[in-house]
């Protein structure tokens, strides 16, 4: 079939297998060019491994450290008439490249919140991998079923305490407009923390530890975004922010639990980037479009693979990691520097629908959005007839 992007609101409902392979190839080449990660991991579990920061983590572990990787994700398989989701094709490209270099890799496609999937992962680790020395938690989901009570919790993107009105970039209309969001109630805050907080991360590590599949000196990291003044009302000091605070609680609890094997849990704060999740958050498309312009002009812009490659080399496997007073690993310093934030603020008040192309990097934002789904690559022929039926050879049954 000829596969062209089908965009609905802030999501793309299809994906291009050749473009996704190109997306993965670029990241692999970046990591390999940087050379081996000194004292890097050897057996890695990545929960949320098929897109964004999770995919970049799997690529960095495998091609920077030669690690065996078990990837957990929840992706849509292809049919003869419909494409797979982008994460499926990303994983197929990763798998093919890893196989070519003799790197062990396996995947589980399913709901990472369930204890059944956790047990399946533990069985694979025990029988095929050896003890895990790094667990990456990079899960983004709108809802979660509690494995004990069976109750389903749903997250919301809302401010806390008072309603919030701000400018945003409506990407489907390509217009600057105002968006107003009512404050969350206590139950919405609670449910968002249950979905996006540290409870499932902690449950994963508890079960891995109980099964005896964690190595001495193992590390685990969960990813967060902290941001600054412009994004705090809808991100930091909002329902998502409360959930992210719970990651700090979970990190302390996991570190205490793993004390006997000198294990350590970190929260890593990363840069704002175009992801499937950030596209859905009010104001973030405008903020990111402005941020890209400012940071690209300065030459400090980084994407997922640059951030995660840096995290491994300057954070997780460094003797002098950049950390804040709360013990988080910080890779967002360039974005949050005072002069970058001031430049974004200055442009924020000036931009209109008519000046989107001159005052923001909307073109870069939109192209990066397309690349998440395998579109937007100039050297890929999007008029060519392509089969959507790309298999995964190493998927667990």
Domain ranges within the chain, ordered by starting residue: 9-372
Backbone φ and ψ of 14, nearest 5°: -140, 180
pTM of the predicted model over 0.85: yes
Residue 278: is its pLDDT beyond 80?
no
Determine if residue 75 is labeled as part of a ligand binding site.
yes
C-alpha–C-alpha distance, residues 37 and 50, integer Å: 21
Q: Which two tokens stand for residue 143?
A: 């809802």
pLDDT over 90 for what percent of the chain? 86
Determine if residue 225 is labeled as part of a ligand binding site.
yes
C-alpha–C-alpha distance, residues 271 and 337, integer Å: 12
With cut-offs at 50, 70 and 90, classify the pLDDT of residue 91.
very high
**Alpha carbons within 13 A on the beta-carbon side of 44:** 31
Asked if 235 is an active-site residue, the reply is yes
Distances (CA, A) of 379 to 31, 193, 367, 374, 389: 22, 43, 14, 12, 21
What pLDDT was estimated at residue 277?
Answer: 73
**Annotated catalytic residue within 235, 266, 287, 362:** 235
What pLDDT was estimated at residue 70?
Answer: 98
C-alpha–C-alpha distance, residues 208 and 132, integer Å: 9
Residue 391: is its pLDDT beyond 90?
yes
Determine if residue 48 is labeled as part of a ligand binding site.
yes
What pLDDT was estimated at residue 275?
Answer: 80
Determine if residue 101 is labeled as part of a ligand binding site.
no
Residue 280: is its pLDDT beyond 80?
no
Determine if residue 275 is labeled as part of a ligand binding site.
yes
What pLDDT was estimated at residue 10?
Answer: 76
Bridge partners of 222, per DSSP, are 137, 267
Determine if residue 46 is labeled as part of a ligand binding site.
no
Q: What is the pLDDT of residues 191-213, one digit of tens each?
A: 999 999 999 999 999 999 999 99
Determine if residue 100 is labeled as part of a ligand binding site.
no
Contact call for residues 194 and 239 (beta carbons, < 8 A): no
Give CATH for domain 9-372: 3.40.50.720
What pLDDT was estimated at residue 230?
Answer: 87
Contact call for residues 296 and 344 (beta carbons, < 8 A): no
Determine if residue 227 is labeled as part of a ligand binding site.
no
Q: Which two tokens stand for residue 350?
A: 């000036």
pLDDT over 70 for what percent of the chain? 100
Q: What is the pLDDT of residues 92-111, one digit of tens each?
A: 999 999 999 999 999 999 99
What pLDDT was estimated at residue 172?
Answer: 80
Q: What is the pLDDT of residues 359-373, one digit of tens each?
A: 999 999 999 999 999
With cut-offs at 50, 70 and 90, classify the pLDDT of residue 183.
very high
Q: Higher confidence at residue 227 or residue 300?
A: 300
Determine if residue 111 is labeled as part of a ligand binding site.
yes
Determine if residue 238 is labeled as part of a ligand binding site.
no
**Order of strands, sheet of 132-137, starting from the edge strand that comes earlier in the sequence:** 105-109, 68-73, 43-47, 132-137, 214-224, 264-269, 329-330
Q: Higher confidence at residue 161 or residue 10?
A: 161
**Region 254-268: what's the mean pLDDT?**
98
DSSP state of 349: T
Determine if residue 140 is labeled as part of a ligand binding site.
yes
């Amino acid at each position: 079939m000829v596969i062209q992007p089908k965009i609905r609101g802030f999501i793309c409902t299809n994906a291009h297998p050749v473009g996704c392979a190109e997306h993965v190839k670029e990241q692999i080449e970046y990591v390999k060019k940087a050379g081996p990660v000194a004292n890097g991991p050897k057996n890695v579990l990545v929960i949320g491994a098929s897109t964004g920061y999770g995919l970049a983590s799997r690529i960095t572990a495998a091609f920077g450290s030669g690690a065996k990787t078990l990837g957990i994700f929840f992706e849509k398989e292809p049919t003869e008439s419909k494409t797979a989701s982008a994460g499926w094709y990303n994983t197929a490209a990763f798998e093919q490249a890893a196989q070519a270099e003799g790197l062990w890799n396996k995947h589980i496609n399913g709901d990472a919140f369930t204890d059944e999937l956790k047990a399946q992962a533990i069985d694979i680790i025990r029988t095929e991998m050896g003890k895990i020395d790094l667990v990456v938690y990079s899960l983004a989901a709108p809802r979660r079923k509690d494995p004990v009570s069976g109750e389903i919790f749903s997250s919301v993107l809302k401010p806390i305490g008072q309603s919030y009105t701000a400018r945003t970039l409506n990407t489907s209309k390509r217009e600057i407009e105002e968006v107003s969001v009512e404050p969350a109630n206590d139950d919405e805050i609670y449910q968002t923390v249950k979905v996006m907080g540290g409870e499932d991360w902690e449950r994963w590590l508890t079960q891995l530890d109980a099964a005896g599949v964690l190595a001495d000196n193992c590390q685990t990291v969960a990813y967060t975004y902290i941001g600054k003044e412009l994004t705090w009302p809808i991100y930091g000091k909002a329902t998502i922010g409360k959930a992210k605070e719970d990651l700090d609680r979970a990190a302390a609890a996991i570190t205490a639990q793993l004390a006997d094997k000198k294990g350590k849990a970190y929260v890593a704060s990363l840069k704002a980037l175009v992801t499937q999740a950030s596209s859905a958050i009010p104001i973030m498309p405008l903020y990111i479009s402005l941020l890209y312009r400012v940071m690209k002009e300065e030459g400090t812009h980084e994407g997922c693979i640059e951030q995660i490659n840096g995290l491994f080399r300057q954070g997780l496997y460094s003797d002098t990691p950049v950390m804040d007073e709360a013990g988080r690993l910080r890779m967002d310093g360039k974005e949050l520097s005072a002069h970058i934030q001031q430049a974004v603020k200055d442009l924020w008040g000036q931009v209109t629908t008519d000046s989107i192309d001159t005052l923001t990097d909307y073109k870069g934002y939109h192209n990066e959005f397309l690349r998440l789904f395998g579109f937007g690559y100039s050297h890929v022929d999007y008029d060519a007839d392509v089969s959507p039926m790309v298999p995964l050879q190493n998927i667990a049954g």
